[in-house]
Structure 1
């Protein structure tokens, strides 16, 4: 990271403190024996490697590239990894940030990491180096959370674990086959994170202007981002949302394409998991979901999968893969819900 990058807001968060706070606040996960936990970790490592073959065959991506080993973690280990990733992504480097603001930000970030540590099943992190190879990108699987969900859903553990691996390995394949995605994300994150020179009065005037405008606005967290960000920041945020929608929808499409051939109980798993996504939450849970953008994330899965399903059904996977050519071939907001417009423009 350059010296300029270190002036980003994320650089003033004490990520070392955030990791420490997160580790103290996180809950230990479901009660299980050491043998069960060790067995699950070993199986997840094996399944992540096994998933690579069918994912590559289905997507037509990453053929011939080496298959990295997944990092199978507990919740505190995931918090440490996530803090390192956020520090690298936002320009914080490895050192802690001095001053009260950095410590306050670290405490707040630690609380969020603790909250997320109980929800993340798996994650592909394109910003952190693989511990085994040093190359950019590492696939993480959080064992206690996977065990907790498979117990809650009452599904076959080995089938559910492979099903989760299919989704996360698809993300690894996406980035391995298309290295430009990482720099594209970093460029947009830098735009979003850069502080602007607006005064309070200028910010208020811009927000009022947006509220009075006839232009359509998003709801919830996305609407708040639209109000608070400058036009340049919101454009970058929108680009990231469109990329995230594509990545998640593509991974869900691959799961459903590969699952019936390799996961005997996939129909039961998909049904149970979709019901879990849509179940009602108490008011506190709804507030927390809104704050961390979980509802927006769910919309990404649904809209993105519908886009990929329709395009692949129309033109096939090989021609769909034109989407990975570069930033100009990514779907635009108006194309996500009308895939034919993307087909007409790109193909």
Structure 2
């Protein structure tokens, strides 16, 4: 890691926009060790086998018809930074940010903030389903950040092969959601664009923000449910350890998580999983999967707290 190089990248930020995205990537990678990606052929075959097994189990158990993304990558942290800088750039470029009276200083602050956020995430993300929102492409992707998976498995005192396989099941559930609901990408893109247009005009539409939150709560909650219901091994110990990790960390890590909104993401996991667990307990997994038939089947904010009302309306 090279903090001097990161500072230089940020302070040398240039261009016309509010963020220098090249500098963001350079700075994030300067403060983030790439991690070991020296995988044997057996290791790579194991990742591929886990992904295929997850696809087959989810298709069979949930009754969801979908295909895997064309792009499935085992990455180090720098690879993940490169992929996600492009995503952040596409989304935040929709925000017509006012750089104030001193645009150079504003650009430096914005660039440093984004580099900090992406660098922190690169050190913590285990896997990611990337629907490549706002890219105009149907080529979705699936990433596994191998150095983080290995490190966290050691930290949790978990068997790395079993832990990797469980993470694969979680990420493939997202492929199932977006594959079963071709409308989902457009739905999210529309909400994001509307929210950012309002923010650019110094407006805040609570309904759009709530719609994004409830949609992501459904996405994350269904993935958590399916991750556990379809996994072909014991998972209770992994679930307990991963939940503790999401809530834990030192005070600095907790502050970073709060600043990046990761506390909200954890609440989405928990609230969404509780909702779908209640639906499955009342009916079955196939009924829970009805959420992806059409946008109108997404639960409202009120229904997330009252699954019976959703069942009455949809099923």
TM tier relative to shorter chain: 0.7 to 0.9
**Alpha-carbon distance in 1 for matches of 2:133, 2:200:** 28
Q: Aligned residue for 2:160?
A: 157
Give the match for residue 175 of structure 1: 178
Match in the other structure for 1:115: 120
The CA RMSD measured in Å over matched residues stands at: 2.6
User: Does 1:26 find its partner at 2:2?
Assistant: no
2:146 pairs with 1:146 = no
Give the aligned partner of residue 226 of structure 1. none
Contact 2:61 2:230 in 1 (8 A): yes
1:298 to 266, 282, 288: 266
Aligned residue pairs total 289
Deviations 1:76-133 (A, max 9, x none): 11000001122233447xxxxxx63445423321111001101100111111699xxx
Instruction: Pick which of 175-184 and 41-50 moved more.
Output: 41-50
SS of match in other structure, 1:72? strand
Q: 1:196 to 1:129 in 2, by over 3 A?
A: closer
> 1:286, CA displacement in angstroms?
2.2
Cα separation, partners in 2 of 1:191 and 1:153, compared to 1, 3 Å = same
Q: Counterpart of 2:278? A: 310
Q: Quote the residue 1:252 is aligned against.
A: 224
2:85 corresponds in structure 1 to 83
TM-score (norm 2): 0.83
| Structure 1 counterpart SS, 2:131 | strand
Tell me what 1:184 maps to. 187
1:286 equivalent in alignment to 2:254: yes
**What residue in structure 2 maps to residue 17 of structure 1?**
23
Name the structure 2 match of 1:242.
214
Alpha carbons of 1:320 and 1:267: their partners in 2 closer, same or farther (altered >3 Å)? closer
The Cα shift of 1:196 comes to 4.5
> Which residue is 1:127 aligned to?
132
Distance in 1 separating the partners of 2:153 and 2:296 = 40
How far residue 272 of structure 1 moved from its aligned partner, in angstroms, is 2.2
Q: Cα 1:35–1:72, aligned 2, differ >3 Å: closer, same or farther? A: closer
Change (3 A) 1:86 1:315: same
| Displacement after TM superposition at 1:296 (Å) | 1.2
What do the CA deviations read for 1:198-218 (whole angstroms, capped 9, x no partner)? 5xxxxxxxxxxxxxxxxxxxx
Gaps in structure 1 of 5+ consecutive residues: 1-10, 93-98, 199-228
CA distance in 2, matches of 1:34, 1:338: 48
Work out whether residues 245 and 303 of structure 1, in 8 Å CA contact, stay in contact via their aligned partners in 2. yes
- Structure 2: stretches of 5+ with no match in the other structure: 1-16, 95-102
What per-residue deviation string (whole Å, max 9, x for no partner) do you get for residues 228-249 of structure 1?
A: x62x2x2212111111111111
C-alpha distance 39-128 of structure 1, shift in aligned 2 (>3 A) = farther
